[in-house]
């Protein structure tokens, strides 16, 4: 679990996995200090997730409006309109899955368990969370999962 301690000059974040850029060594450090002016400019994880959820829900609503106009499925009718309708339906379903994933990530933030891989229990890298803030697995476990799905050992 990550703990925050704030004093007048610095914000201390305990329990982070860090890489020493000079040596390339990786380890758990007891504290990393970040200037408050830097943290003040960065939206919190919860805020970023909430923004992404709002954008996703807005996109779902937009797609639902598009899906209300269903194409004519008569023989020789519809053509590209049918393809577009089915594409939008698949996209909407994908976004609904993403929204559920973001909601789960928000619950993890509230529980203090955000950023912990659900498969191995190790921290998920900051880089991965920056790209996929609602991910539940680290890169190593995601690769293993991908290999299993592809049938590779």
pLDDT per 10-residue tile (average), the chain, 153 residues:
36 42 42 42 78 96 90 65 88 96 93 91 92 92 91 68
Question: Can you give the pLDDT at residue 153?
Answer: 60
Question: Can you give the pLDDT at residue 33?
Answer: 42
Question: Can you give the pLDDT at residue 9?
Answer: 33
CA distance 123 to 129: 10
Phi, psi of 43 (to 5 degrees): -65, 145
Find, among 96, 143, 104, the residue nearest to 120 by Cα: 143
Bridge-partner residues for 11, per DSSP?
6, 34
Question: Can you give the pLDDT at residue 83?
Answer: 83
Question: Can you give the pLDDT at residue 73?
Answer: 65
What are all long-range contacts of 64-67, with beta carbons under 8 Å and residues at least 24 apart?
64/92, 67/92
CB 102 within 8 A of CB 130: no
Question: Can you give the pLDDT at residue 144?
Answer: 93
Residue 106 CB contacts under 8 Å (≥ 6 apart), including other chains: 46, 49, 50, 53
CA distance 128 to 14: 20
> Is-above-0.85 flag for pTM?
no
Question: Can you give the pLDDT at residue 152?
Answer: 65
Structure tokens at 26: 């990786």
């Amino acid at each position: 679990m990550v703990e925050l301690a704030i004093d007048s000059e610095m914000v201390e974040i305990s329990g982070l996995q860090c890489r020493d850029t000079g040596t390339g060594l990786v380890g758990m450090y007891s504290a990393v200090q970040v200037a408050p002016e830097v943290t003040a400019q960065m939206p919190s994880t919860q805020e970023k997730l909430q923004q992404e959820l709002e954008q996703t829900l807005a996109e779902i609503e937009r797609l639902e409006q598009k899906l209300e106009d269903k194409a004519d499925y008569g023989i020789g009718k519809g053509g590209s309109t049918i393809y577009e309708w089915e594409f939008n339906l698949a996209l909407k379903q994908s976004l609904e899955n993403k929204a559920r994933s973001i909601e789960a990530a928000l619950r993890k933030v509230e529980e203090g368990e955000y950023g912990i891989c659900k498969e191995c229990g190790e921290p998920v890298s900051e880089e991965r969370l920056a790209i996929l803030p609602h991910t539940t697995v680290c890169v190593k476990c995601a690769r293993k999962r991908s290999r299993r799905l592809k049938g590779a050992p």
